Structure 1
Amino acid sequence: MKVVLQKDVLNLGDAGDVKEVADGYARNFLIPRRLAVRANDGNTKMALHQKKLAGLKREKRVKVMKDLAAQIDGKTYEVTVKVGENQKLFGSVTGNDVVNAIRKTGVEIDKRKLEIADTIKNLGEYKVKVRLAEGVVPQILVKVVAEA
């Protein structure tokens, strides 16, 4: 059965794609969950239109994220933490701490966009990737310093 995908479906396709799937898969899974509709002339035209609009939205979003990436790429952000004896941190530096440091400069970023390689449990400098959009991944430097 030919279906037009309404939403992105893992291992099948993106919204707006016209796919040939097994009848049972379409009737029992895709259509009841509103992930797809049967392909006919009207639905196919509508899907192509939706795909075009989604592409335009994606391009606009990437442009905005590239502007944001230019603001933060390569910059150093300082996170102040409490330390105990032997300069050991109480806990660790989280994505929330890094976002708060970035927020102080007037830039808003979602903490889920941060890609921290290892847990930050010591003082020092750490490279953190910020995955803003597809293909837009600036890198920032997080400097962890002890509270005075």
Structure 2
Amino acid sequence: MKLILTQEVTGLGAPGDVVDVKDGYARNFLIPRSLGTPWTKGGQKQVDAIRKARSSREIATLEQAQSVKAQLEGKTIKLVAHAGASGRLFGAVTTGDVAEAVVAGGGPQLDRRKIELGQPIKAVGRHDVSVRLHPEVAAKVALEVVAG
């Protein structure tokens, strides 16, 4: 079955890509989670719109990605979160929280969808977060979660 991806799917493709997947995978996983829509002849306009939106959000060149990586890896980002007496957070740190903390700490604007948390951050302390800036460039961000 041919699908147009509406969001990035690891190992499959990026938004706007037309992919061919098995029928069950499309019907039971991708379409119900709004990760893709069925491909039609009229869907080409949708593909063009998705690609245009993606290109406006992405870092265009490898040199730009390298400079943003240098900015991110040079500093520790401080994030204030509500926590109990034992240091356990009320809830978890999200990728949106990380993106806001980077901007508040003087860093560049990041797309929250490019931020990867290895595991949920549910305690105060130092955590490493990965950011995919470009298909060839990934940055490691040092995140310091403190109780607030």
TM-score, normalised to structure 2's length? 0.59
Q: Could you say which structure has the higher strand fraction?
A: 2
Name the Cα RMSD after superposition: 2.6
8 Å Cα contact 2:76-2:143 kept in structure 1: yes
Say if 2:117 is the partner of 1:108.
no
- In structure 1, runs of 5+ residues without a counterpart are 1-6, 12-28, 36-57
| 3-state SS, counterpart of residue 72 of structure 1 | helix
The letter of the residue matching 1:97 is D
Secondary structure at 2:86 match in 1: helix
Counterpart contact for 2:59–2:65, Cα < 8 Å: no
Name the counterpart of 2:7: none
Please list, as runs of the form range in 1=range in 2, the aligned pairs for 1:1-148 lying within 5 A after superposition.
Answer: 8-10=17-19, 31=41, 33-34=43-44, 60-104=60-104, 105-147=106-148
What percentage of aligned pairs have identical amino acids?
Answer: 31
In the TM superposition, residue 59 of structure 1 has moved relative to its aligned partner by 9.6
The Cα of 1:81 is off from its aligned counterpart by: 1.2
Work out the number of aligned pairs and report it.
103
Q: 1:110 is aligned with what amino acid?
A: D
Matched-pair contact (CA < 8 Å) for 1:125–1:144? yes
Paired amino acid for 2:101: A
Contact 1:82 1:146 in 2 (8 A): yes
Structure 2 residue identity aligned to 1:116: L
Query: C-alpha deviations, 1:35-83, integer Å up to 9, x for none?
Result: 9xxxxxxxxxxxxxxxxxxxxxx99532222221121125211111121
Distance in 2 of aligned mates of 1:98 and 1:59? 18
SS at match of 1:131: strand
**Retained in 2: the 8 A contact 1:77–1:101?**
yes
SS of the equivalent of 2:133 reads coil
Q: 1:93 to 1:33 in 2, by over 3 A?
A: closer
Shift of 1:87: 2.3
Structure 2 CA distance for partners of 1:88 and 1:59, relative to 1, 3 Å: closer
TM-score by length of 1: 0.59
Going from structure 1 to structure 2, the CA distance change for 1:118 and 1:59 (only over 3 Å counts) comes to: closer
The structure with more radius of gyration = 1
Residue 112 of structure 1: how far off its partner (Å): 0.8
